[in-house]
Structure 1
Amino acid sequence: MQHLDLQVIERAMRWANAGETVWLCTVLATFGSSPREPGSMLVARGDGSHVGSLSGGCVEEDFLAQLRDGTFSQPVEVIRYGNNDADGPQVALPCGGILDVLIERLEPSDSNLLHLEVLHATLLGRRPLIRRVLLEDGRAHFVEGDAQGPRVERDAQSVRVRVGPSLRLIVAGISPVAAVCADFARTLGFEVIVCDPRAEARAGFDVPGVEVQNAMPALFIASGACHAATAVVALTHDPRIDDLAMIEAVRTPAFY
């Protein structure tokens, strides 16, 4: 899962804990060209404030306009964008694609807050789960799952979304190549953490949206920072940093 999904859930939790009703949207399926894959999420408030993306712009604009008009009042709805159906939103995607979107209206109840907390913990943790949403009344719960299989599955009764740790990149040590790699990974949706104990190296590093840790990469990795959706790269060409980091990295569940 992309790091953007984690930002979506964190904002949903913040709003819900403040007593706000939120609308959680999930891309269920795409047909033809589409910039966002199934499972991508967006959260919004009734005033149109939002985090995340469904299509890159055109779908969001229509959804938020309808939301401000009070259109989405049901606990759960599935709508289709891009096919110009008389009963659906009249939005033609510039890319020519079609996408189905699940829209959940989540009031700030104890059960919804707990559900968001479990979802948040799953995005941060090691154990993948399947989030099952009943299409009749919007009730949602988690069941055991694994990381293999389609991101989204559905039938007439429910939608099942596979949820797991969000993509993470740990960069061992700062260098010009490391800065470019960190920025590139961030744009691909990774949570990026750069580790370097050298004050002079950290002082010259400025990549927006990237976390910087004042620590030896090997110690940070050994502390449990890697899960199955983690990649580790060492790009300083300094064996005191690179070699020790790799010795620890190969002992973790990191996929790369």
Structure 2
Amino acid sequence: MLDIAEELDRWVRQGRDFAVATVVATSGSSPRQPGAALAVDSDGTAIGSVSGGCVEGAVYELCRQALTDGACVVESFGYSDEDAFAVGLTCGGVIDILVTPVRGDSQDRTVLAAACAAAALGRTAALARITEGPPELVGRAVLVHPDGTHEGGFGGHVELDRTAAGEARAMLDGGRTGSVVIGADGSRCGRPLTLLVESSVPPPRMIVFGAIDFASALARVGKFLGYRVTVCDARPVFATRARFPEADEVVVDWPHRYLDSVAGSLDGRTVLCVLTHDAKFDVPLLAAALRLPLAYVGAMGSRRTHLDRNERLREVGVTEMELARLRSPIGLDLGARTPEETALSIGAEIVAARRGGTGASLTGAHTPIHHDGPPGTVGRIGEVA
């Protein structure tokens, strides 16, 4: 539900009653992943999505019913072989939906409101809700902070609260959203109980080096993909807010010096796009970048520029293993010509790298449409990697 936290936080502050339906588990070819949500308020206004349209109507009615009776419910939706037009996922997948009423008298309204407020403000926190277990506990929630403290609980089950908070904090450390199974009494054994943990972490960073027209287009693509975008260039005449209005920040500094200043705040979700194709900027920058644990490092330039750059990087001590991490020439082969087309090809390569895609056309292929991502990748809230 935290993928629509900004809207839900606004509803809470306006005093609205609403019900929220959250994807808690999937199998097969499912269009949305755990954490995706749809909410309906008492006036019938709907926001979000749980299936891309396949079962929205039925889930909408479940939310309306939850607002009426105040009860949590878990419902499964899948493809119907008998009637493809029946309520189900025509893509062939199965999704489990948790529907939770958030009314003035709801026992978890306070903790759910706090979770939405934290996510809306970009704060780091994890929301853990019981999706399978004793009926009286289904839907109960606990909000866990990075220091391990938590708000809410499961109705006096102290050991369960402690175990759930520990599991949620571990998921939060990796920025992951997904399910965890523990014992219903908080132990590692006994009657199983399933938690959905949704991690809210600040958006991943995209740093674009080189204040050129391609960078302006790439900043727009980066924002569209959910990144916090920085454009950096050593030339103040080019690195201006007027030229890059979509960027979150525009920095005037030598690229390698700026990277060194922020290296400690970067993580395994960060992507770097080097568009300068000028050796005096590229070599010291890439020599540092390829030694950082980043998700993606790409550099623009012709194949001749790429070969020359690699030789210069070897001369300053970059190893072959480190060079193998460099995506150059940057982007997928889309036949791109314009800055916008080129930015699209770079964005597509970044998505493919994050999700484990091949970049090949799906037409006639036998590869999965939806990828969970290569081992070790992590996603933002609303993403499962």
TM beyond 0.5: yes
Q: Which residue of 1 aligns with 2:160?
A: none
Matched, 1:153 2:180: yes
The answer for the alignment partner of 1:237 in structure 2 is 277
Is the deviation greater in 41-50 or in 71-80? 41-50
Larger relative contact order (Cα-Cα within 8 Å, sequence gap ≥ 6) = 1
How far is the alpha carbon of 1:181 from its aligned partner?
A: 4.2
SS in 2 for 1:236: coil
Find 1:165's aligned residue among 176, 201, 213.
201
Instruction: Identify the match of residue 65 of structure 2 among 55, 71, 74.
Output: 71
Higher alpha-carbon deviation: 128-137 or 96-105: 128-137
Shift of 1:161: 1.7
Farther off after superposition, 153-162 or 18-27: 153-162
1:103 aligns with 2:128: no
- Write the letter of the residue equivalent to 2:208: A
Give, in whole Å, the separation in 1 of the partners of 2:260 and 2:44. Answer: 39
Question: TM-score by structure 2 length?
Answer: 0.49
1:58 correspondence with 2:70: no
Give the deviation of 1:38 after TM superposition: 2.4
Paired-residue identity, % = 26
Name 2:325's counterpart in structure 1: none
In structure 2, distance between residues paired with 1:92 and 1:199: 56
Whole-angstrom CA distance in 1 between matches of 2:292 and 2:40: 36
Corresponding pairs, count: 240
Residues 38-90 of structure 1, C-alpha deviation per residue, up to 9 Å, x if partnerless? Answer: 232334423343443311122223323554xx3123342211122559xxxx5
User: Partner of 1:194 in structure 2?
Assistant: 230
Q: Which residue of 1 aligns with 2:215?
A: 178
Quick check: which one's strand share is greater?
Answer: 1
Q: Deviation of residue 19 (structure 1)?
A: 0.8
- Over 3 Å counting, the alpha-carbon distance change for 1:150 and 1:113 in structure 2 is closer
Please point out which of 39, 42, 46 is paired with 2:38. Answer: 42
Query: Structure 1 residue 131: deviation in Å?
Result: 1.7
- CA shift at 1:220, angstroms? 11
- CA–CA distance in structure 2, aligned partners of residues 184 and 13 of structure 1: 27
Post-superposition CA distance 1:101-152 (Å, at most 9, x none) = 112222364443223334556x643xx7462336634320131213288722
For structure 1, list consecutive stretches of 5 or more residues without a partner in the other structure.
Answer: none
| Structure 2 portions without partners, runs of 5+ | 145-164, 183-191, 297-385
Q: In structure 2, what is the Cα distance between the partners aligned to 1:65 and 1:53? A: 14
Give the drift of 1:244: 7.4
Asked if the contact 2:204/2:227 (under 8 Å) is kept, the reply is: yes
- How far apart are the structure 2 equivalents of 1:246 and 1:50? 46
Note the alpha carbon deviations across 1:195-214, whole angstroms, 9 max, x for none: 246565654557xxx54323
In the other structure, the counterpart of 1:139 is: 140
Map residues 82-101 of structure 1 onto 2, 5 A cutoff: 82-83=78-79, 90-101=86-97
User: Are residues 219 and 191 of structure 1, via their aligned partners in 2, closer, same or farther at CA, if it must alter by over 3 Å?
Assistant: same
Match in the other structure for 1:116? 116
Q: Which moved more, 1:53-62 or 1:215-224?
A: 215-224
3-state SS of paired residue (2:55): helix
Q: RMSD of the TM alignment (CA)? A: 4.1
Distance 2:260 2:72 in 1: 42
